[in-house]
Amino acid sequence: MTFVGKILVIVIMAFALLFLGISTVVFTTAKNWMVATKAEQKKVDDLTKKVKDAQAQAEAAKSGPEGLDAAKSAFDQVTKQLNTRLSALQDENTRNLAQITAVRTQLVTAQETAKSTLAEVQARRDQTTVLRDQKSAVEKQANEFKLHQADLTDRIRELERQFETATKNNADLREKVAKFSALLRQNGLSDDISQIKGLESPPPVMGEVKRIDSSNRRVEVTIGSDDGLVIGHELFLYRVSPRPEYLGKILIVAVDPDQAVGKVIGNTYQGKKIKEGDIVSSTIKPRF
C-alpha cells in the first residue's frame, strides 16, 4: 500500500471513532430528555390533581354563603396559574419531543455513516491484505528470477570458457591441418578431404594398363574418378597370359574421370616388366 493509502485508512478510522462517540453522546442525551419529559408529565399530573382538589374545595365552598366569592376568586387565580403552568409544560414537552425526534434522526444518520465508514475501512483492509499478498508473490517471483539469472550467468561463464577452449583448439587444429596439408602436397598427395575419405574405403575396381613409360615406373590405367578412384589409392598389378601371375602394386598419383596415372611402389615382383594389357585391381590380392 502506498503512503497516501495508509493516511486515508487512518483518517477514515478516526472519522469512524468520532461518529461513534457522537452517536453515543446523542443516545445518552436522548435518554436524559425522555426522563425529563416523564418528570414534567408527572408534574402536570400533580397540578391536574391539585386543580381537581381546588374544584372540590370550590364545590364545598358553595354550601356557605360567606367566603364564596373569596373561594371563587382564589379558585380562579389558582386555575389561571395552573393553566399557565400547564401550557408552559405542554410547550416545553412539545419542544422536547421535537428535539428528541431531531436527535434520533441525527443518531440514525450517524449510525448509517459509521456503518458505511466501517465497511469502507474493512474494504481498505481487505485491499491492503490483497496488495500485501501480491507484493509477497512478486517478491518471491523476483527472488526466483534472481536465482535463475545467477544460474544463467554461471552457465554463460561456463559456455564462454568452453568457447575459449574450443576457439583455441580450433586454432591448434587449423595449424595442424595446414602442416599436414603441406606435408601431403610435398609427398605428391592431395589434401582434398573428399579424396582422403575415399582412401578409407577403396572401391572395388578393375582395369587395364593403357600405357607405360620407358622407365617402367609409371603406368596409365583405364579407370578413373568416375569409378571411385582418388589420389592415394593402391591397386594390384596382374598378368593373365600366358599364365596368371602377380606383378606388384601401384599408387595412384593423378586422376581423371575415365583414366588415372599410378607409380610403381617399390620393385615389381621378381623384377618383371609391366606391359600394356596387364590387369589392375583393388579386390584381387596376391597369394604367395
CA-closest candidate to residue 252, choices 265, 238, 270: 265
- DSSP labels, 119-175: HHHHHHHHHHHHHHHHHHHHHHHHHHHHHHHHHHHHHHHHHHHHHHHHHHHHHHHHH
pLDDT of 133 > 70? The answer is: yes
CA-closest candidate to residue 189, choices 201, 202, 180: 180
> pLDDT tens digits for 158-176?
999 999 999 889 888 888 8
Among 77-81, 168-172, 174-178, 180-184, which stretch is predicted with the lowest mean pLDDT? 180-184
Position of cell 428535539? 99
CB 83 within 8 A of CB 51: no
pLDDT for 200: 58
Overall average pLDDT of the 284-288 stretch = 68
Distance in angstroms (rounded) separating the CA atoms of residues 25 and 106: 11
pLDDT for 254: 92
Position of cell 598427395? 189
pLDDT tier for residue 274 given thresholds of 50, 70 and 90: very high
Share of the chain above pLDDT 90, in %: 22
pLDDT for 199: 57
Secondary element (H or E) of residue 215: none
Which of the 8 DSSP states describes residue 95? H
pLDDT for 207: 94
pLDDT for 219: 95
> pLDDT tens digits for 218-239?
999 999 999 989 888 999 999 9
Cis upstream peptide for 203 (omega within 30°): no
Query: What is the crossing angle of helices 68-186 and 3-62, to 10°?
Result: 170
Distance in angstroms (rounded) separating the CA atoms of residues 78 and 71: 10
Among 16-25, 57-66, 251-260, which stretch is predicted with the lowest mean pLDDT? 57-66
Task: Give 189's Cβ-side CA count (13 Å radius).
Answer: 17
pLDDT for 189: 59
Query: What CATH number has the domain spanning 202-281?
Result: 2.40.10.340
pLDDT for 33: 59
pLDDT for 87: 84
Among 25-29, 81-85, 227-231, 253-257, which stretch is predicted with the lowest mean pLDDT? 25-29
Overall average pLDDT of the 11-28 stretch = 67
Overall average pLDDT of the 260-266 stretch = 93
Domain map (residue ranges) of the chain:
3-144, 202-281
**211: left (phi > 0), else alpha (psi -120 to 50), else beta?**
beta
Distance in angstroms (rounded) separating the CA atoms of residues 23 and 104: 9
> pLDDT tens digits for 43-72?
777 777 776 776 666 666 555 555 566 667
pLDDT for 57: 65
| Average pLDDT of the chain to the nearest whole number | 81
Angle at 79 between CA 83 and CA 38, to 5 degrees: 45
CATH 1.10.287 for domain 3-144, yes or no, is: yes
